[in-house]
Amino acid sequence: MSEQEMPTLGGEYQYGFKDDITPVFTTGEGLTEDIVREISAAKNEPQWMLDFRLKAYKIYQRLSMPNFGPDLSTLDFEHINYFRRDTDKVARNWEDVPEDIKKTFDRLGVPEAERKYLAGSSAQYESEVVYHNMKDDFTKLGIVFMSTDDAVQQYPDLVKQYFGKLILPQDNKMAALNSAVWSGGTFIYVPKGVKTDVPIQSYFRINEGNSGQFERTLIIVDEGASVNYVEGCTAPNYSQDSLHAAVVEVNVLKDAYCRYTTIQNWSDNVYSLETKRAQAFENATMEWVDGNLGSKITMKYPSVYLNGEHARGTMLSIAFAGAASDGTGIDSDTGARMIHNAKNTSSSIVSKSLCKDGGQVDYRGQVRFGRDSDGSFAHVECDTIIMDDKSASDTIPFNEILNGNVSMEHEAKVSKISEEQLYYLMSRGISEEKATEMIIMGFVEPFTKELPMEYAVELNRLIEYQMEGSVG
Amino acid sequence: MLDLKKYPDVAAYVQAVAEPKWFTEKRIEALDELKNLKMPSFQKIRYRNWPIRVKKDLNNVKSEIPLPEDIDENAVTMVQTGQQTLLTNVSEKLQKQGVIICDWKTALDEHPELVKKYFMQKAIKITENKLTAEHVAKLTSGILVYIPKNVILKDPLTMYFIQDALQKIDYVHHVLLVADINSEVSYLENILTVGTEKTTANIIVEVIALEGSHVKFASVDRLGKNTTVYLNRRGYLKRDAKIDWSLGMMSDGNIVGDYDSELVGAGSHAETKVVAISTGEQVQGIDTRVTNYGRNSIGHILQHGVILQRSNLVFNGIGHVEKGAIGADAQQESRVLMLSRYARGDANPILLIDDNNVTAGHAASVGRVDEQQLYYLMSRGLPKKMAERLVIRGFLGPVLAAIPSRSIQIELENMIERKLVDGQKDE
Amino acid sequence: MSTLEVKDLHVSIEGKNILKGVNLKLATGEIHAIMGPNGTGKSTLSEAIMGNPAYKVDQGEILLDGENILDLPVDERARAGLFLAMQYPAEIPGVTNAEFIRGAINARRAEDNPISVRNFLKKLDKTMSFLDMTEEMADRYLNEGFSGGEKKRNEILQLMMIEPKFAILDEIDSGLDIDALKVVSKGVNEMRGQDFGSLIITHYQRLLNYIVPDVVHVMMDGRIVAQGGPELAKQLEDEGYAGLRDELGLDIKLTDEDA
């Protein structure tokens, strides 16, 4: 762990800068049926999508907020700006992105990352994708990578077949809201048998306060194909809260493989209320790798519906909740759901959580073995470290078993930093601060080792930043 | 002056049994509050459409059930059938030590100070929910057990509580066990049903373990198929007190088991072991909670369940460490064996941790009978089904071994055997 | 020359008095052994010198080069030159052995002058091969899943990499077979020299055949009851602790003595 690998950071959220951008088009604050129509019209959408939005809007009005988890009463839906377009066209190279926005992504290191180690990259700024590009090698393989808005125009059949099928608008209020006002997000189609290990990345940025970002991501990995998708998120610090309510649907067809990695690092004025769901068909593998470091409140429980024999689903997650800049604690309520609907399916959930300075980290999960899940297996492991007496953690897993021929193992531990480990490291001359950091890094290592190298370094940096001043 | 006009059934009942006024006041308080209270809520236990509310009027009813033949009169402490007490066996020695074991009526008449101090005051509040209030309003049977300071009882106290389902009457029963400072007691209760009428049982057990006391509490529940049960057992533990719960849930009907230990005192310790067999089409919802308030308090939960036929078993295990419970330990383990493809089992181990200086953990598993063990037994020539039953008996061992009476252990083993044989037929 | 001096040390754990006035002085260039029956406070002495927060010093002083170090936290004592090879080293998943040792070395150096990766690896490879350790031990997580012998070897590896002034070896021989014992001894003998002192805590004389001490102290019931040269260890081997106790006329019950 050299000084080069782990530089020391200043004590501030380093992505908290903002830009002054005048939108080209916005629907202003609040939401009505007319605004839903306006959004659809601004995108020049086909009638079926408008119908879908309008139906979802009605469902949104009918549903109530979740009756579990963090307190969402402070979220002010009236003053959110539901749609904001900052540029007229999606650029294919960074030179064409408006200068101010490009500067933002430069500071976030997005173009550099793309040059170095990505197969393709896209960037969403507020409501819409401002940039996307894929290297020629991958385009030639027939991989489709574009904004979901573009996909509605260019691949209407595929979109119609899969869009809104895994997550119905009535699933929950935030899914309904997203279905009504969605904009942007990523569409990926990997043709049969096409395999790529090189990651494709999307970067999501909220710039204005009171913003709503409702991206909609749809991934289809065709039979025998594979894809490795990474998303990152940041936002400036504002006194007004922003809402990020994404919907992500992933379809992993027979023998296919998908890994979906998220590094969520929203500033602590963002409510991140996401619905993410995948289905894995026969012998397919779906892997969620999910890091939650930011946000004021996060509610997210990605799921895998194991719908074909021998399908596999995994979730590997870390969550870190510390103090928010307004003096309260960050509340991270995350987890996973594994739904075994076919024979000989397997799933694994490994969740690592940390909290300090009044933060609350909760694990909330579900493993369900349906009637036809003979021979299936599930493994769940939740580990939490509560670093001080101001912080708290709940672990709430539900395990539902409707088949006699399955097996499930579930384990969880909650503790403070081990004094024995601390003493041992310090007895070798390592300071308490450094020793604490080492133990924490070791604790999340099962997660970081699964990240692409550049992300692992980034994540270690973020954790180190979060850990600052945690001793003494 | 008590105004009983609103509740004529209460008026008639208290007159018939000559109930002390102070207790009738509690009934009225409960009845008046009832409409403002909520039903208790448990994760994943859906019981709202069951006939679990005690709807019938308060009524003084005689029971015709005789003393069951298999009960050894000399070996039991008390036998109650319905609202009656058939037999009380309290030795002179116990009486001299100041031990009190009496039925509810006697408790109200002769030990009002104990009842007033502890009944629904410490462990459970009358107005905690609709079912606790209903319990107080409709209470018609029960016992009081009091172990004085420093008294150590070697022999277990054995109780039989027989629900009368020959008649269409609800069964509302209360156990109040107070273990005074540094006392020790081993207590075993058998709750069973005679008759097959569709009835409701609302049973609350309060164990008050004062400083340094140790209570070994064992139970064998065998309530009937047509009895819908709310069974609330709760311990309240002061400094350095310990309760060992060993709860065998062998009832045949739908049941909500609400088990809780409140670790109020520093160094208090609760070990809760629950085993359950679910058969037929029954639903058993078991919500076992331990709440650590005291420093260095220890709360352990172990739940083992076997699910057969078309039944449904829900195990919630909740370890709750309150802020300030420094050095607390909360551990739990729930294991479920699924022996039928038509059954359903839920194992929900929940940790709610509000302090950091704690050790907390849980484990849960669901699976079939251990293949290795099965193979080993079968390699010795046992037929598969018999081997399976032996493995399961081992799985239920933690509670079986804690039953303080050999004859009841054997009875329980036979009962498990019967249930397993029946269940295996449907496989 | 450096000195480590323990003066009239009284230590308790959870209110129970374990050390009842220990006096000891050791200088670099010397190797001392502390022998004694089980439960007499040998490990307590080593943990108290290192600064384990679970052990409470009620009275006395611990001086390193004449400075009282009792107020120093464990990491500062380590950087001041103390090292304790522990009887039960902690396991730390996720942190590799190599990065941990490098961290420990760099903690002793100026922040802008860390040991270069090349020099570090060179020294690590050399030391590991000296201790017959396989290369993969460097990349395994710190003590996680190590066998008893691997853990002890790893303690000696750290000792040789960190090069402290004083090393306390707490029952480094327990649970070791003869080959492992030889390797561990080889490591300590390699360190032997004018800039290194060691306090070897052991129940058995066997280890002292391989690391010959300059001074042997015998501890019973929280005190040092006898001192001598290597021959004292031999005498113990022959007569046992009970024999020595009776010779000294002490009224002490030994825990591993049959009742």
pLDDT at position A248 is 97
For chain B positions 69-108, those within 8 Å of chain A (CB to CB) are none
On whether any CB of chain A is under 8 Å from the CB of B361, the answer is: yes
pLDDT at position A413 is 93
pLDDT at position A348 is 97
Q: Got the DSSP string for B167-216? A: SS--EEEEEEEEE-TT-EEEEEEEEEEEE---EEEEEEEEEEE-TT-EEE
Segment B245-299, tens digit of pLDDT: 999 999 999 999 999 999 999 999 999 999 999 999 999 999 999 999 999 999 9
pLDDT at position C15 is 87
Contact residues, chain A, for C78 at CB < 8 Å: 426-430
Whether the CB-CB separation of C77 and C69 falls below 8 Å is answered with yes
pLDDT at position A120 is 82
Between β-strands A377-386 and A392-401, what pairing exists: parallel, antiparallel or unpaired? unpaired
Query: Which tokens sit at B404?
Result: 């303080």
Q: Flag if A410 and B364 touch (Cβ within 8 Å).
A: yes
Segment C230-252, tens digit of pLDDT: 999 888 888 888 888 888 888 88
Question: Which ipTM score applies to this complex?
Answer: 0.87
Q: Flag if A410 and B348 touch (Cβ within 8 Å).
A: no
A313: closest CA among A352, A365, A246, A385? Answer: A365
Whether the CB-CB separation of B202 and B170 falls below 8 Å is answered with yes
Chains that touch A (3 or more CB pairs under 8 A): B, C
Contact residues, chain A, for B353 at CB < 8 Å: 384, 386, 392-395, 414
Query: Which tokens sit at C166?
Result: 């004083």
Q: By CA distance, what is C105's nearest residue in A?
A: A429
Q: Flag if A401 and B43 touch (Cβ within 8 Å).
A: no
Please name the residues in contact with A99: beta carbons below 8 A apart, sequence gap of 6 or more.
none
What is the domain partition of chain C in residue ranges?
Answer: 3-90+166-248
Q: By CA distance, what is C47's nearest residue in A?
A: A427
Is pLDDT of A151 > 90?
Answer: yes
Whether the CB-CB separation of A329 and A390 falls below 8 Å is answered with yes
| A311/chain B closest Cα distance in angstroms | 20
Chains that touch B (3 or more CB pairs under 8 A): A
- Report how far residue B209's alpha carbon sits from residue B358's, in angstroms, rounded to the nearest whole number: 23
Q: Flag if B356 and A391 touch (Cβ within 8 Å).
A: yes
On whether any CB of chain C is under 8 Å from the CB of A415, the answer is: no
- Report how far residue A453's alpha carbon sits from residue A198's, in angstroms, rounded to the nearest whole number: 12
On whether any CB of chain A is under 8 Å from the CB of C92, the answer is: yes
Rounded to 10 degrees, what is the CA torsion of B177, B182, B183, B184?
A: 100
Contact residues, chain B, for A403 at CB < 8 Å: 338, 341
Contact residues, chain B, for A362 at CB < 8 Å: none
On whether any CB of chain C is under 8 Å from the CB of A316, the answer is: no
- Report how far residue C210's alpha carbon sits from residue A342's, in angstroms, rounded to the nearest whole number: 64
Query: Which tokens sit at B85?
Result: 């007490």
Is pLDDT of C259 > 50?
Answer: no
Is pLDDT of A197 > 50?
Answer: yes
To probe the interface with A, which of C87, C100, C162 has the most A CB atoms within 10 Å? C100
Contact residues, chain C, for A433 at CB < 8 Å: none
Is pLDDT of C258 > 60?
Answer: no
Whether the CB-CB separation of B329 and B295 falls below 8 Å is answered with no
Whether the CB-CB separation of A19 and A101 falls below 8 Å is answered with yes
Query: At residue A125, what is the residue type?
Result: Y
Query: Which tokens sit at A450?
Result: 């699964």
Pick the CATH number of C3-90+166-248 from 3.30.1330.10, 3.40.50.300, 3.40.630.30, 2.60.40.10: 3.40.50.300
Higher pLDDT: A17 or B195? It is B195
What is the domain partition of chain A in residue ranges?
Answer: 25-417, 418-472
Distance of CA B203 to the CA centre of its chain: 8
Contact residues, chain A, for C111 at CB < 8 Å: 3
| Segment among A340-354, A444-458, B130-144, C64-78 with least mean pLDDT | A444-458
Contact residues, chain C, for A428 at CB < 8 Å: 78, 83, 100, 104, 107, 158, 162
Q: Flag if A428 and C158 touch (Cβ within 8 Å).
A: yes
Cα-Cα-Cα-Cα dihedral sign, residues C104, C105, C111, C115: negative
| Segment among A7-21, A58-72, B229-243, B386-400 with least mean pLDDT | A7-21
Q: Flag if A443 and C93 touch (Cβ within 8 Å).
A: yes
On whether any CB of chain A is under 8 Å from the CB of B345, the answer is: yes
Q: What percentage of residues in chain B have a pLDDT greater than 70?
A: 99
- Report how far residue C16's alpha carbon sits from residue B425's, in angstroms, rounded to the nearest whole number: 61
- Work out the mean pLDDT of chain B and round it to a whole number: 93
Contact flag for B and C (3+ C-beta pairs < 8 Å)? no
Query: Which tokens sit at B174?
Result: 């209360």
Q: By CA distance, what is A357's nearest residue in B?
A: B356
Q: By CA distance, what is A392's nearest residue in B?
A: B354
Q: Flag if C74 and A442 touch (Cβ within 8 Å).
A: no
Is pLDDT of A293 > 90?
Answer: no
Cα-Cα-Cα-Cα dihedral sign, residues A237, A241, A242, A246: positive
For the CA atoms of chain C, what is the radius of gyration? Answer: 18
Contact residues, chain B, for A406 at CB < 8 Å: 338, 366-367
Whether the CB-CB separation of B210 and B266 falls below 8 Å is answered with no
Q: By CA distance, what is A403's nearest residue in B?
A: B341
B65 in helix, strand or coil? coil
Q: Helices A47-62 and A173-181, interaxial angle, to 10°?
A: 150
| A382/chain C closest Cα distance in angstroms | 15
Q: What b/e string do you get for B179-210 counting C-beta neighbours within 10 Å, with b at 16 or more?
A: bbbbbbbbbbbbbbbbbeeebbbbbbbbbbbb
| A230/chain B closest Cα distance in angstroms | 32
Segment C157-215, tens digit of pLDDT: 999 999 999 999 999 988 888 888 999 999 999 999 999 999 999 988 889 999 999 99
On whether any CB of chain C is under 8 Å from the CB of A3, the answer is: yes
Q: Flag if A438 and C90 touch (Cβ within 8 Å).
A: no
The closest CB to that of C104, out of A420, A423, A428, belongs to A428
| C196/chain A closest Cα distance in angstroms | 16
The closest CB to that of B341, out of A386, A399, A403, belongs to A403
Q: Flag if A414 and B339 touch (Cβ within 8 Å).
A: no
pLDDT at position A359 is 93
Query: At residue A78, what is the residue type?
Result: E
pLDDT confidence band for A469 (50 / 70 / 90): low
